[in-house]
Amino acid sequence: MIVYKHALRNLINFGEHRQDRTGVGTRSLFGESMRFDLAHGFPLLGLRKIHFKSVIEELLWMLRGETNTNTLKATIWDEWADENGNLGPIYGKQWRDFGGVDQIAWLLISLFENPNSRRHIVSAWNPAEIDQMALPPCHMLFQCHVSNDKRLSLCLTQRSADIYLGVPFNIASYAALVHILCAITGYKPGHLIINFGDLHLYNNHIEQAQELLKRTSPPLPSLAIKPFGVLESLTYEHFVLTGYNPHPRLDAPVAV
């Protein structure tokens, strides 16, 4: 995860000091990017332990079109949900019903029928419903690409990115999404590219970030998915992660 450590170091050394809606304050860089070759391993951060099951369960929750925290257990979404667990029309709603369009179903058809298309796009940013969302989408749009050698890559656009708590989770989530799409279509995992708008490190995460930079990144694990039926039948038990040997957890507070 050299690219992650590089971004973390740049934020500490060169990030612009900015105030933000949480009142905590950040060090921020605009227009950064990261690229991961998924042929070299699954990019699950090893500098501190990431709870892989939470990554997968949230991703599957969104892929099912769900927007209520009652079907997720002890996640950061609880901080934004109302008393009934509702979050409004966030990711899952937009992915599976954007103005009546099931974008995930459409994406799979497009990948099968027209792999050379430049329109393999799924958007969670719906201006007409932003005000109804508990939190506007941070990872707001992704585009897929199928190369001539049948490798599927994904480019994510993320408007706002908490590098310490959120970004490792986002990297793992969208890398897992590539693996899911490949399991369905028969393509091979290619690259994961993330283009960041505001990439930031919260001021109360700086001490933890400095500790991470002292650690040596272990080898990347590998991910396999057992055979499954339709997308909606996919569960955490289908995912087989091997070779994940991270450093101990290093927690930090969530800025709400």
Beta-sheet strands, E only, within 147-184: 151-162
List 31's β-bridge partners, or say none.
Answer: none
Model confidence band, residue 20 (pLDDT cutoffs 50, 70, 90): confident
Interval 80-94 mean pLDDT: 96
Q: What is the mean predicted confidence (pLDDT) over 121-128?
A: 98
pLDDT greater than 70 at residue 256: no
Domains and CATH numbers, the chain: 2-242 (3.30.572.10)
Over residues 172-198, the mean pLDDT reads 98
Percent of the chain with pLDDT over 90: 91
What tens digit of pLDDT does each residue of 130-150 get?
Answer: 999 999 999 999 999 999 999
Q: What pLDDT does residue 73 have?
A: 75
What integer pLDDT is reported at residue 183 of this predicted model? 98
First to last CA, the chain: 27
- Assess whether pLDDT exceeds 70 at residue 74: no
| pLDDT above 80 (res 97) | yes
Res. 254 pLDDT band, cuts 50 70 90? confident
Q: In whole angstroms, what is the distance from residue 83 CA to residue 90 CA? A: 17
Point out the catalytic residue in the list 138, 144, 155, 182. 138
What pLDDT is stored for residue 42 in this prediction?
Answer: 98
Q: Which of 23-27, 102-106, 198-202 has the lowest mean pLDDT?
A: 23-27
Longest dimension (CA), the chain: 49
Q: Are 56 and 216 in contact (CB under 8 A)?
A: no
Residues 6+ apart with CB under 8 A from 121: 107, 141, 142, 143, 144
For the residues 14-42, what does the mean pLDDT come to?
Answer: 94
Lowest-pLDDT range of 5-14, 66-75, 158-167, 231-240:
66-75
**What is the pTM assigned to this prediction?**
0.96
**Does position 49 have pLDDT exceeding 70, yes or no?**
yes
Q: Is 155 a catalytic residue?
A: no
